[in-house]
Structure 1
Amino acid sequence: MSTYEIETSTVLFPNGDLSIDAYLAQPTQSGSFPAVIVFQEIFGVNDHIRDVTERIAREGYVAIAPALYQRLAPGFEAGYTPEAIELGRAYKMQTKAEELLGDTQAAIRYLRSLPAVDGAAIGTIGFCFGGHVAYLAATLPDIKATASFYGAGIATATPGGGPPTLSRTGDITGTVYAFFGDRDASIPAAEVAQIQDALSAHRIPHQIFRYPADHGFFCDRRGSYQPDAAADAWQKALQLFQSALERQPQAGLP
């Protein structure tokens, strides 16, 4: 299958008095494209997240990865050392659900201001902490497709405190695909079952995928990377975006 040539840039978009850093990747061809918001792990918008953003753009989407820690640590990005994990978790614990939702809505407004999006459908994909944020953001009416990768705490907590994010499931209006590793100690099988039960109870279009893998299996920079699971999950996420975002072939693609 042919892929799109892309261009990338670092951009700022406003949310009130806050300016949010983001990594933007989009096809160079003219036309209107659906958009996908990429939610980072606890390690910031680092090389892995930029790579995912570019991969999505090559499939014919405008992709943007906003910095979720903009209020706490502008420009933060890290690798996968124990020190980085400790720092990333510390920042994660200071985030708040309503701020994350507000920042996501600001990203949606920014995307809709781009000529290449121009009213097209919007989806999300998120990993680790970003997988939780993606499930949270699925409650926004503009989000039509959500790919949530091993988002811990969905069934038990929400950023900043309060009822767990799972309690908001009834507000979801799009389609949700959620990906988990059976060996992920941070997301017990019982919590995955709770997520599936909630999505079914609220009649949210969804699929749950389980792999014989650990947490972080999609990230090829981590020791837990599982290439077979990552490849299968990637194809399923693309299938979700192709169906739920109603992507149309664009002129100029070979």
Structure 2
Amino acid sequence: MIIQQETVDITTSTGVMRTYVHRPQAEGKFPTIIFYSEIFQQTAPIARSAAIMAGHGFVVLVPEVFHELNPIGTVLGYDDAGKDKGNADKFAKPLPDHDSDTQAMIDFIDNAPYTTGDVGTMGVCIGGHLAFRAALNPAIKSACCLYATDLHSNTLPTSDTDQTLARAGDVKGELMMIWGRQDPHVPDQGRADINQALRSAGCTFTWHEVNGQHAFMRDEGERFDPELALSCYQMAVGLFRRTLG
């Protein structure tokens, strides 16, 4: 499916959020995936991931996840300076501000002429966490969370009772949790704690552990695993076709 790209600036309660839209060129309405990036925002690998999903018949929105903390259009580099800035942004933005960002995108989707109104979420790294976080919103029908960081540690800024994993029982849609077993950011015990929390909360979820390192989906750098990435895209497409139509 041939796709097109455009940008929209969505007003949120914490400022204007540049959002990149990847969608089919074909006429008609399509279900939507909100795709949450790594700490680096929409880099070239993230744009390519969004394009892959859009090419399977979805409208894909990629928001600038730290729009309040950077000039519009900021893309951080995959280097030490970019990593330091992105990690600082991650711990500077309270989780409730991500919630209001998600609601602003849902409002945009509800009024866009090319969407069906059915919404899922997907993300990698911190974006995997934000995809899970977005699923606390009852409008989200499903979420594909790839090597989601900071879920097990409860370290992102908010109250103890508002930590994402503590609120797993609020998720009404289906979760797909994908992990790399060689990922040092989410070790064995951390994954076990998340799995148990989802079971205790009664979540509907599937659980996939693969032999991959952190960021194995990113098609730049030595950790990229093309075969695993292709498999995960196929699983994500299957999830969203089943849950979003």
TM-score, scaled to structure 1: 0.91
Match runs of 1:119-130 below 5 Å = 119=117, 121-130=118-127
Confirm whether residue 30 of structure 1 aligns to residue 20 of structure 2: no
Q: Verify the 8 A CA contact 2:14 2:97 in the aligned structure 1.
A: no
Over 3 Å counting, the alpha-carbon distance change for 1:16 and 1:85 in structure 2 is closer
> Which digits, 9 at most, give the CA deviation of each residue in 1:11-59, with x for residues without a partner?
1111146211011011111212100001010111111111112111111
Deviation for aligned residue 1:107: 0.7
TM-score, scaled to structure 2: 0.94
Deviation for aligned residue 1:78: 2.1
SS of corresponding position for 1:156: coil
Name the CA distance, whole Å, in 1 between partners of 2:119 and 2:176: 15
Partner of 1:146: 143
Deviation for aligned residue 1:143: 0.5
Partner of 1:208: 207
Match runs of 1:42-121 below 5 Å = 42-74=39-71, 75-119=73-117, 121=118
> Which digits, 9 at most, give the CA deviation of each residue in 1:183-235, with x for residues without a partner?
11110111111222222222221111111111101101132111222121111
Greater fraction of residues in helix = 2
Match runs of 1:176-215 below 5 Å = 176-215=175-214
Name the CA distance, whole Å, in 2 between partners of 1:69 and 1:7: 24
Q: Give aligned pairs, total.
A: 242
SS of corresponding position for 2:217: coil
Q: Verify the 8 A CA contact 2:14 2:68 in the aligned structure 1.
A: no
Instruction: Give structure 1 regions of 4+ aligned residues with deviation exceeding 3 angstroms.
Output: none
Partner of 2:153: 156
In structure 2, runs of 5+ residues without a counterpart are: none
Q: Which amino acid aligns with 1:115?
A: P
Name the CA distance, whole Å, in 2 between partners of 1:23 and 1:185: 30
In structure 1, runs of 5+ residues without a counterpart are: 247-254
Name the CA distance, whole Å, in 2 between partners of 1:188 and 1:16: 35
Q: Which amino acid aligns with 1:110?
A: F
Q: Which amino acid aligns with 2:95?
A: A
Sequence identity percentage:
29
